[in-house]
Amino acid sequence: MGSYYADFHIHSRFARATSKNLTLPLLDEFARKKGIKLLGTGDFTHPLWLAEIEHYLTPAPEKGLFILKDAAGDNPTRFILSVEISSIYRQGDRGRRIHTIIMLPTLEAATAFNDMLSTHGAKLSSDGRPITGLSAKRLAELAFSAHPQALVIPAHAWTPWFSVFGSMSGFDSLEECFEELTPKILAIETGLSSDPPMNWRLSQLDNVALISSSDAHSAAKIGREAVKFDGDLSYSAIADALRGAAPSRAGQRSASPTKLLGTIEFFPQEGKYHFDGHSAHNVRLSPAETKQNKGLCPNCGRRVTVGVLSRVEELADRPANFKPAGAPDYWSLVPLEEIIAEALGVQTGTKKVSAQYESLIQTFGDELTILLDTPIKSIEAASTPAIAEAVRRVRAGQLHIEPGYDGEYGTVHVFSDEERLAPSSSEQVTLF
């Protein structure tokens, strides 16, 4: 089939704090615009969303995947059954709050898994991302009981409050969390606040693949992080590719018809928990500054929220910039609408940005193609010199970044303050 992009972790309108216009046809439409070939359904545990999945989707030609029943065109978006589950429990004399992505290949397995969760007290109708008192390990056991090919992936593995390595309620290793089931955990999701180089600093993660997903709460956010595969497209092919993407198994990849080539990433500083800090007092701290302040807010004396970078530093057994042999690639990007908005000197969501975005999609096909592959000269011819220059700078990593902290997104700007504030600056940018 060639190469394609997958985004496994999204949400439906039945999850909290999500867009209320999310439907499967809309997800299919936006996946095509974004360049996502394989999209998670999200939230299959919610009874109303599962009913919509059964109504709108039908098995795809590729085993274990689904397509819209009335899909337009020759190459429709494939869907994979996925859900994120929140486990809140105690282990090792500590409260644990872990989010886990579960993927399954059949509706029968999804129904069986849902029944088991309900039996254990989960209120599946309350939220598309249900809460359970089951441990992450027990949750994995239920998933593998529902189907032996279940994929169990720790979600946004470094987020302070709800993740397997989180500073507030996580573990120091996958083994501590999943015990004897650890070999069945084929991947972790790195999350918006970390990227592969940060994760490469932990030798324990050489045994898992690193994936990235959008965790989209609206259709427009699909594909802001994703995974690039090459080869066959099927549920079992994805599982084989994840198994082979671990650096410790790099020598086995030639036997798999499908390979994980790399991940599409946020710049991790843009994530909400990259740095440490206390948002109530607008205090943003680097790991070194947190140590200097003994982990306390310099304004009020309360403990700061320890972010992803500090937590990686704490658990790392390798230096920064270490890359394991055989590790897949990654590409850090800024969403196209944000690039256009900054180049035009307006806000995202405006008619001007939308018109330019749709024009570029019509010309070049999809967003990831534009951001990664389209020649800069072609982008300039189809838009403006400022937009073309902005894409060039994103590809080169020539950005102005303020890291996120304690739930506050970081800021990523393509142009300097002087360029952005200058009159008609968007038309004064030179390409080379």
Residue 397 has pLDDT above 70, yes or no: yes
- Average per-residue pLDDT for the chain: 95
Structure confidence at residue 391 (pLDDT): 99
C-alpha to C-alpha distances, 408 to 97, 312, 336, nearest whole angstrom: 20, 19, 21
Tokens 């069986």, residue? 112
Phi, psi (degrees; rounded to nearest 5) at 150? -55, 145
- Predicted structure pTM score: 0.95
Question: 272-327 pLDDT, tens per residue?
Answer: 999 999 999 999 999 999 999 999 999 999 999 999 999 999 999 999 999 999 99
pLDDT at position 429 over 60 = no
How confident is the model over 33-80, as pLDDT tens digits?
999 999 999 999 999 999 999 999 999 999 999 999 998 777 899 999
CB 61 within 8 A of CB 43: no
103: three-class secondary structure by DSSP: strand
The beta-strand segments (E) located in 52-138 are 57-59, 66-68, 78-91, 94-104, 131-132
Structure confidence by residue, pLDDT tens digits, 232-248: 999 999 999 999 999 99
Q: How would you class 292 by CB atoms within 10 Å of its CB: exposed for 0-12, middle for 13-18, buried for 19 or more? A: exposed
Provide the pLDDT for residue 422.
67
CATH architecture of 3-270: Alpha-Beta Barrel (3.20)
Query: What's the pLDDT at 423?
Result: 55
Residue 342 and residue 346: Cα distance in Å, rounded?
6
Backbone angles phi, psi at 187, to 5 degrees: -155, 160
Tokens of 204: 């324990």
Q: Residue 285's pLDDT is what?
A: 98
Q: Assign 432 a pLDDT band (cuts: 50, 70, 90).
A: very low
Half-sphere exposure of 306 (CA within 13 A, CB side): 21
pLDDT of 184 higher than 70? yes
Extents of the domains making up the chain: 3-270, 335-427
Per-residue exposure over 318-333, b if at least 16 CB sit within 10 Å of its own CB, e if not? eeeeeebebbbebbbb
The CA–CA distances, whole Å, from 23 to 12, 48, 50, 60, 324 equal 7, 12, 12, 19, 40
Is the CB of residue 420 less than 8 Å from the CB of residue 342?
yes
391: left (phi over 0), alpha (psi -120 to 50) or beta: alpha
- pLDDT-based confidence at 427, cuts 50/70/90? very low
List C-alpha distances in Å: 205 to 140, 172, 185, 209, 353.
19, 12, 11, 8, 40
Three-state helix/strand/coil letters over 285-315: ECHHHHHHCCCECCCCCCECECCHHHHHHHH
